Amino acid sequence: MGEILKTINLTKNFGGLSAVVDVNFVVKKGDLQSIIGPNGAGKSTFFKLITGELEPTRGQIIFFNKDITSLPQTAISHLGIAVSYQITNIFPMLTVFENVRVAVQSRKTTFNLWSKAISHKEFVEQTRHILEQINLSDFKDEIAANLSHGHQKRLEIGIALATQPKLLLLDEPTAGLSPMETRQTIELIKKIAQDLTIILVEHKMKVVMEVSDRITVLHYGKLLAQGTPDEIRNNEEVRRVYLGGVKI
């Protein structure tokens, strides 16, 4: 199948620090591609380059054969790239329902001043559907700030899903979750991966090995290795620098 996203020599420097260095990266349509690497490897920065939150120092980003390198963040969102952030980034004092609803609405209208938001049935329907997917229907009227960390993490994914992306970036969706919650999030990821292309950043190797079609390893901003889970598992260099020599 075709390439959905491609980066060519993508580089980001913060002053003297090179967070991402000449990364050539490809995601195929329908794949779940993971990125692993130690803290500070540049994974989150790489995501922010793709979403247009940060401007690359050098290099190109191609999405569906279109150069999106210098497009503003909002335009990239409308082309169909969404991100679920590592650090929970929700609308704290709005209800869970409204958190998702306002993200759903973003695909259709901003400056509609006169109709009632709640009367837009299609937004409400889609919101219900997403709340069911992320299993937060029971909490729909709760203020988002009052949710537990685990629920906030899932809401975070829900907001990203609500913008109906073609490519979904998940930045450590299971960070800080209990084993039980991690399990639920994995099931959720597997489910949405059926009809969505996903790039996943994740530290829990078991999760990565279980869900990924392909894995990319970043190390100090550089691409260290790419391959199927089995190839990565057996890669000597990866094991040395990242897996600490442990066999998994």
Ligand X SMILES: Nc1ncnc2c1ncn2[C@@H]1O[C@H](COP(=O)(O)OP(=O)(O)O)[C@@H](O)[C@H]1O
List contacts with ligand X (CB under 6 A).
Answer: 14, 17, 19, 37, 39-45
Q: For the residues of 162-213, what is the DSSP string, one character each?
A: HT--SEEEEESTTTT--HHHHHHHHHHHHHHHTTSEEEEE-S-HHHHHHH-S
Site string for other proteins, 64-83 (x = CB under 8 A): ---------xx--xx---xx
User: By C-beta, is 98 or 202 nearer to Mg ion?
Assistant: 202
Contact criterion met (CB below 8 Å) for 114 and 148: no
Q: Is 204 a binder of other proteins (CB under 8 A)? A: no
User: CA–CA separation, 201 vs 85, rounded Å?
Assistant: 10
Report CA-CA distances (Å) from 234 to 192, 227, 228, 229, 240.
28, 10, 10, 9, 11
Q: Is 44 a binder of Mg ion (CB under 5 A)? A: yes
Site string for other proteins, 88-127 (x = CB under 8 A): -xxxxxx---x--xxx-xxx-xxxxxxxxxx-x-------
Radius of gyration of the chain (CA): 18
Structure tokens at 125: 């329907």
User: By C-beta, is 14 or 66 nearer to ligand X?
Assistant: 14
Contacts (CB under 8 A) with other proteins, residues 22-61: 51, 53
User: Where does this chain bind other proteins (CB under 8 A)?
Assistant: 51, 53, 73-74, 77-78, 82-83, 89-94, 98, 101-103, 105-107, 109-118, 120, 135-139, 148, 159, 162-163, 180-181, 184
